[in-house]
Amino acid sequence: MKRFLLFFLSLYFSLGFFVQCSDDPTGAGSEYLKVNSWIRDQMSNYYYWNFVVPRMAPGNLTPGQFFKDILYETDEFSYITDDAETLLNELNGAQYSSGVSPAILSFSDRDQLFMVVKYVYPNSPAQQAGLKRGNIILSVNGQTLSSSNYQELLQINGTVAYGLGSYSLDEGTQQMNVTDLDSIVSVQKEILQLDPVITTKVIETGGKRIGYLFYAQFIDGIADVFMYRLNERLAELKAQEVDELVIDLRYNPGGRITAASQFANALVPLEAAQNEEIFVEFEYNSFLENFYRTSEGTDSENLFLRFQEGPVSMGLERIYVLTTNETASASELLINGLKPYMEVITVGSNTFGKYYGSFVITGTFQSPPLYYAILPVTLKYSNANQETDFIDGLEAQIAASENILSPKPLGDPEDPLLKAAISDILGQSVTENTYITTIASTVNWYPTLSNQLQSSAWFIQD
């Protein structure tokens, strides 16, 4: 991570001559002037739409408000936090967590909020306490979830008592309900190293050996530990001589470009990796684009990211990827970047639709240090065929959907998304389940802060 941060520090000084700005034009105060001046300088250098950044920074606006006010009108992705340390830990996979990945829902005709466990990290306190995918939680530490308190309750430290509920569907009226089970599960939150490979397995059916891997987010881990583990899991699947591979990215919001690149190296046909073909191309603001071209050359790795031969090559001509509208950013980069070189069949629903990336910029190297971090949209990417701007997401080639209120275990061949992929592999017709229409019209989804970046659909350029 130190290398990662030093990159920004050295680049900032190299680009500093571009910034000629003044401060506090209104004279309305200086409480936030130092932080806002720092924000303004970084945004002037790195922001993809830097033409909207003002030449002067006020001292009377909070940093969060100033940052929000200067964003380009269509930018819903750039992010600021006053807790750089926590953010950097999360980027390395270290989170203060019980090991639950939650979805916060409510029924459209009722005010009641409830949490559904999308998945549980292996060997986490949550798994040890018996929580599992599909569990419904109605309260935290005795407080019923509501739209006004759920984010605060999700961030409670220490021991957390989850009040469980159950889901039911009236077959006659199609009315969905959750009811209190009067059961409590207590879980201790800890700093966890959350390995993004949740589960792998091999499914033998119809004369095929189908590998399955669920991947939660694109993170390297300290000293690339998660990448080593990913390669180990892929090598295990290859050793079992899988004919096909299904990668489950249905809840993957993105992550670091290095993780996506190394994953892609294992998936792309070996010839493309050996020839170092283009994986993705990056486009920046004119200042940054010119800086890279003049200082590093037109083939700079900051302009073109190429495949590299890695420790594992799956040796497949096609892969299946399970997707939903939570599949975002680096997940979409992986799919889009592989498409020019192999068949990538997407199963589920359209992805989120984000073709931008960010730098992580912190003020911790300032003197005195600033404990803020910003993640401005810094670049736009396209694949080797110049395909980008998929504003409505990458289209699912095979439609399938799950009932998040009553889901099958991850990797279960009866899970609707995986079942659709298997059916296509076996040459069978695929019929989409109809209950998703009912779910979509009666359930509201709320953003969560279980990961500071999760609702921002993120990918990070190193």
Specify the pLDDT at position 3: 29
> Do residues 188 and 159 touch, judged by C-beta distance below 8 A?
yes
Specify the pLDDT at position 147: 86
> Do residues 270 and 313 touch, judged by C-beta distance below 8 A?
yes
> Do residues 133 and 140 touch, judged by C-beta distance below 8 A?
no
- Is 453 a residue whose pLDDT tops 50? no
- For 226, phi then psi, to 5°, come to -70, -30
> Do residues 179 and 159 touch, judged by C-beta distance below 8 A?
no
pLDDT band at 23 (very low <50, low <70, confident <90, very high): low
User: Among 134, 129, 106, which Cα is nearest to 118's?
Assistant: 134
Task: Render pLDDT for 127-166 as a digit per residue (tens, 0 to 9).
Answer: 999 999 999 999 999 999 988 898 899 889 899 999 999 9
Specify the pLDDT at position 176: 84
- Is 112 a residue whose pLDDT tops 90? no
Task: Render pLDDT for 258-284 as a digit per residue (tens, 0 to 9).
Answer: 999 999 999 999 999 999 999 999 999
Task: Render pLDDT for 71-90 as a digit per residue (tens, 0 to 9).
Answer: 999 999 999 999 888 888 87
Task: Render pLDDT for 297-327 as a digit per residue (tens, 0 to 9).
Answer: 999 999 999 999 999 999 999 999 999 999 9
Length of the chain: 462
CATH 3.90.226.10 applies to domain 197-432: yes
- Is 378 a residue whose pLDDT tops 90? yes
Residue 332, CB-side half-sphere exposure with 13 Å CA sphere: 32
Specify the pLDDT at position 20: 45
Task: Render pLDDT for 44-74 as a digit per residue (tens, 0 to 9).
Answer: 999 999 999 999 999 999 999 999 999 999 9
Specify the pLDDT at position 6: 31
pLDDT band at 24 (very low <50, low <70, confident <90, very high): low
Question: Which class is domain 94-193?
Answer: mainly beta
Partners of 120 in beta bridges: 100
From residue 378, alpha-carbon distances to 82, 293, 295, 307 in Å are 20, 16, 18, 22
Phi/psi region, residue 121 (left: phi>0; alpha: psi -120 to 50; beta: rest), is beta
Q: Is 423 helix (H, G, I), strand (E, B) or coil?
A: helix
Q: Mind giving me the DSSP string for 28-96? A: ---TTHHHHHHHHHHHHHH-TTGGGS-SEE-SSS-HHHHHHHTS-TT----EEES-HHHHHHHHTTEEE
Specify the pLDDT at position 457: 43
112 or 200, greater pLDDT: 200
- Kindly state the average pLDDT of the residues 285-294: 96
Domain boundary assignment for the chain: 2-91, 94-193, 197-432
> Do residues 394 and 335 touch, judged by C-beta distance below 8 A?
yes
- Is 199 a residue whose pLDDT tops 80? yes
- Kindly state the average pLDDT of the residues 179-184: 93
Task: Render pLDDT for 217-263 as a digit per residue (tens, 0 to 9).
Answer: 999 988 999 999 999 999 999 999 999 999 999 999 999 999 999 99
Task: Render pLDDT for 433-447 as a digit per residue (tens, 0 to 9).
Answer: 644 444 545 677 776
Tell me the pTM: 0.89
Partners of 193 in beta bridges: 94
Amino acid identity at 130: G
Edge-first strand listing for the sheet containing 208-215: 197-205, 208-215, 244-248, 318-323, 343-348, 398-399
Specify the pLDDT at position 27: 47
Specify the pLDDT at position 452: 39
Specify the pLDDT at position 12: 35
Topology alike, domains 94-193 and 197-432: no
| First-to-final CA distance of the chain | 10
Specify the pLDDT at position 435: 47
91 or 191, greater pLDDT: 191
- Kindly state the average pLDDT of the residues 412-420: 97
- Percent of the chain's residues with pLDDT above 90: 72
